[in-house]
Structure 1
């Protein structure tokens, strides 16, 4: 998401973690009330559809690869070293600090990313719109005119090596800044051609690409001044013709716009240089292989001063907050149906909040949004969901400093191991405080996995099932941290970055109860569900 905003107050962070602890402290809750009951027979759940085997994926920002100015951590007192080349219109550069290039060869990073594979790794973001790909191994110290950063050949080799080592496929976008244009201001493929040729030469592949990152806010994303829908349509058609000629196997995604919705929390239309997606698509941008979009339910507190839509920690488990995922998806699905009917939908970027994430984005409370979002979008036939980011910003799956797992990493790992690519209807409509999703269990023909999310502050939920099952319940740590517990035990890496055992507890009783503010996966490998059986 674009970084065009300023920080309101770091003091909000100081209160965030203790409040998170209070929200999940057993002593703070009232006595549980078992007044929510349901019955589910996993063997009888009907088929909804299927999702891409790399459905659960993630982003690595281009600025992580090249090094440059990125969001300063909350509470950081390190003197900022902003990179003026990355500054955008209206940015308070003091809210950024220089981030050196990420070490994509790091053993822990690769091990933890590989555990989520197969996946797509999207290397993009606003910075990709203005990056210059070095013409030789001797990279320029300064970006040429018309560009704001340099991607070296060594750095790109590192991306390709990372993808191969982690069973990932590369998704990206291309530079569209003034340096890529001819004397008439039209986009030219010279830069893209050199990048693609080098990628092929070293055995790499770009599996899918958007023309540019977030054209809906082109005016603050590196496009030339005065860029409009007509210019986008002209350039997109040039890009598509080039791509189909010189990279025929590469999927063309688009438009990749940023959280447009008529709801008051959507991206405000008054952002300079905004181009609504209907105009992008109508101008010639609808000739795509898959429809892509971005979703953030709000902007982080870093952006409050620029009047971007906000949320609060108190709303993190509310139905209106969780429901924003569906509202954005419905908006873009309608555009897809109008301009590119039949094309699959990908959400190529999203997290708890734009502008680097809120202070609580790394804590367990955001795992409710993350897993609920995966469940909602899979059921809505979205084929791919890319979390922003793997290891940068407050919203990352891994700590940016040492790559240790945050709560959402453990949530991602449980989803990856237990929720397969065949989506079922759990038979329980979404209701306040209780969300249930169902998928076929991977590698267990006939097996079913249920995801049960209980956001109630003090109510237990009781669900009846036939047959035995294996239960995996995620809950918050006792003390404020970015970790999580599985069946009451803290999840931590072992020696040599070894992942802990991810083991379920066998349940045989007719009923299962789900404690307040917990997330549970229930695996039924012996369900014998026809929808999950080989045909």
Structure 2
């Protein structure tokens, strides 16, 4: 009798344990039939920024390991930057890695562009910028930008100077800098596909605009700017306003709000509605983000909060204009230390997936190769984990976007057509949770599974193998693992792309 009781207790314990283990995981089914078509993104949807500061050389965010806390106490933000030389856009390794992400837009802009003087001659670079400017861009440096874009199958996007140097005695905008830059661009076979009048008018007081610059002044400048572009370079699309931080996303003083810009007379008319987004301020600038926040739904969905304000403004003022996110990264002020780790792969891919579903046409990551938030290490150009994430997105995800019918607790699922294929679908599944998940797939697929030994790892694995460049700095062959129809495992803290090559889209 005693043995029977013990046996019953053991059976109950085993049953309870099994049920507990089953409840600790999630199961679901991936549905790929009769999906709702949402829309289509630009062919260059995934794009990048190269800061004007990189092109001309200047002061940019200092790496965390070089920050001198004593200097910061006495010098403030100046101690958080270091002098960097002009980037070598002819570097073979840089071009190889950038080419693999094409086709894309390359945006050369940033705060430095607002006060950069174009030196329209072949003399040695001026040591001091002319009065009214802070930086100097040479012909050779700009030709490097044009040659780089041509070499990697990229279209150029930029912005222009708006500082005191370009203005007449009454403070009005003039084409004194725009004219020689456009003429030189054409003379060397270059093309500027689109441009903002200047970088972030929302923060004009920090961006070299004249004292007292406001929305009315902006409207007058823009009218002159647009009139000139329409007469000499009508093929270039005009983007704007290119503001940032509104809608409760980031605290801080802004020179003017988007509503003020559109209320001004004459009302600005943009071909493309552009905005910038950073979900927070980095630790470098006393931000309070932590690695623990980085995989929460509140953080991953924050990109949609950043869109909401500007989407409503677009719908109100320019309802027919496409919307582009022309500058974004993990956090402003160069990114947090963990922006250079596996952690940022989740933010990076969730942002692309979520914004594609919201009909944002282009997302330009800041930067390609400067500071912690870059896709490539600034000094060595070695790929960061988010570069490999970008590479897989570019390899697999097409431009047509579908609404996922599957809702599986803990997983975010994004479905596009298979890139460069008349048939087939690509599915991105993100599991930012510490629990394993099981999902049933309807047909055979190719799996591209990203994992890491730790979320703060600076290396990432594809199907269990560490991703790294070959000895000659060329990319490794990116191949999938065959999965048969049936149940597959989604590991904790993992990202999986599934390629269904022979699946017809309904």
**Interval of TM-score (by shorter of Structure 1 and Structure 2):** over 0.9
1:41 aligns with 2:41: no
The answer as to whether partners of 1:282 and 1:339 remain within 8 angstroms in 2 is: no
1:319 aligns with 2:305: no
Gaps spanning 5+ residues in structure 2: where? 1-19
1:465 aligns with 2:425: no
What SS class does the counterpart of residue 472 from structure 2 fall into?
helix
The answer as to whether partners of 1:128 and 1:175 remain within 8 angstroms in 2 is: yes
Q: Could you tell me which of 55, 60, 72 is aligned with 2:50?
A: 60
The answer as to whether partners of 2:455 and 2:493 remain within 8 angstroms in 1 is: no
Structure 1 residues 293-302 or 469-478, which shifts more? Answer: 469-478
Which position in structure 2 is the counterpart of 1:19? none
What SS class does the counterpart of residue 421 from structure 1 fall into?
strand
Residues 242-295 of structure 1, C-alpha deviations (whole Å, 9 max, x = no match) = 111111110100000012113xx4242x35xx2011111222454011100000
Which position in structure 1 is the counterpart of 2:466? 490
- Number of aligned residue pairs: 483
Instruction: List, as ranges, runs of 4+ consecutive aligned residues in structure 1 with deviation greater than 6 Å.
Output: 77-82
Q: Could you tell me which of 451, 456, 465 is aligned with 1:475?
A: 451
Which position in structure 1 is the counterpart of 2:189? 203
What SS class does the counterpart of residue 504 from structure 2 fall into?
coil
Give the Å deviation of 1:78. 8.8
The answer as to whether partners of 1:289 and 1:343 remain within 8 angstroms in 2 is: yes
Q: Could you tell me which of 230, 233, 238 is aligned with 2:219?
A: 233
Give the Å deviation of 1:81. 12
Give the Å deviation of 1:495. 2.5
**Equivalent-residue separation in structure 1 for 2:129 and 2:69 (angstroms):** 24
The answer as to whether partners of 1:81 and 1:98 remain within 8 angstroms in 2 is: no
The answer as to whether partners of 1:113 and 1:166 remain within 8 angstroms in 2 is: yes
The answer as to whether partners of 2:342 and 2:456 remain within 8 angstroms in 1 is: no
Give the Å deviation of 1:43. 3.9
Q: Report 1:84-483 matches (<5 A).
A: 92-138=77-123, 139-262=125-248, 265-268=249-252, 270-271=253-254, 274-283=255-264, 284=266, 286-304=268-286, 310-428=288-406, 433-457=410-434, 459-477=435-453, 481-483=457-459
Change (3 A) 1:180 1:436: same
Gaps spanning 5+ residues in structure 1: where? 1-29, 83-89, 531-535
Q: TM-score, normalised by structure 1?
A: 0.87
The answer as to whether partners of 2:61 and 2:81 remain within 8 angstroms in 1 is: yes
**Equivalent-residue separation in structure 2 for 1:502 and 1:261 (angstroms):** 40
Which position in structure 2 is the counterpart of 1:74? 64
The answer as to whether partners of 1:79 and 1:97 remain within 8 angstroms in 2 is: no
Higher RCO, Cα 8 Å, sep 6+: 1
**Equivalent-residue separation in structure 1 for 2:236 and 2:477 (angstroms):** 38
**Equivalent-residue separation in structure 2 for 1:495 and 1:142 (angstroms):** 42
C-alpha RMSD over aligned residues: 2.0
The answer as to whether partners of 1:296 and 1:351 remain within 8 angstroms in 2 is: yes
Residues 40-82 of structure 1, C-alpha deviations (whole Å, 9 max, x = no match) = 2324322111000000000000000000000000111699999
Q: TM-score, normalised by structure 2?
A: 0.92
